[in-house]
Amino acid sequence: LVPAGKKNAPPPIKPDTSKFRSLDPAQVAFFATRGISKETLDRNGVCGADAYFAPLGGMAPAVAFPYKRDGEVVNVKYRSEKKHFTQARGAEKVLYGLDDVVGQADIIIVEGEMDKLALEEAGRRGGEGDERERGGAGWMERRRKHAL
C-alpha cells in the first residue's frame, strides 16, 4: 500500500516478531484491573517483548500489540510500564483489530488498543487507530456510513 501523494514510497517493512514472549503475571494482572481477560489478550495476540523507547534512552520490557491484516502481523505497537509508546519503524499503518471488522456493515472506532480490548470484553469487536493509521484528516468523513 502506498500512501496518497507518495508514489515512490518504499513498501512497508514487516516487523520482527521473533522475540515475542508470553505476558508475565504482572502484565496479565494489569489488564485484569481494567477488566480485560487473559482470553481476550490471547485472542488478540497481545504479548510481551523488549522495545527501544527514546524517552527512556534504551530498551525496556513492554506489552506488544500486534496489528494484523489477514492474520499476518504487519505492525506492532509497544507500551512500556511507564506508558511510553513506540511502533515498528517503516511498518504498514492499519487499524488495530482490522481483521475483526473486515466485511462488517458497522464498526466502532475507539481511541486505543486498550479500548478495543475493553470493547471486546463488552461483547463487540471493533477497530482502533489514530489519524495517521486511519488515513489522515477527513478519514471519518469519508467513512461516516461505517461509523456508529
Measured over the CA atoms of residue 120, residue 68, residue 89 and residue 38, the dihedral's sign is: positive
Residues 67-88 have pLDDT tens digits of 999 999 999 999 999 999 999 9
Query: Given a cut of 70, is residue 89 above it in pLDDT?
Result: yes
pLDDT, residue 9, reads 79
CA distance 99 to 71: 7
Read off the C-alpha cell for 5: 501523494
pLDDT, residue 128, reads 59
pLDDT, residue 1, reads 53
pLDDT, residue 100, reads 93
Report DSSP letters for the chain, one per residue.
---TT-TTPPPPPPPP-TT-BPPPHHHHHHHHHTT--HHHHHHTT-EEEEEEEGGGTEEEEEEEEEEEETTEEEEEEEEETTS-EEE-TT-----BTHHHHTT-S-B-EESSHHHHHHHHHTT---EE--HHHHTSTTHHHHTGGGB-
CA distance 81 to 101: 29
Burial (CB count <10 Å: 0-12, 13-18, 19+), residue 45? middle
Please state the pTM of the whole predicted model.
0.80
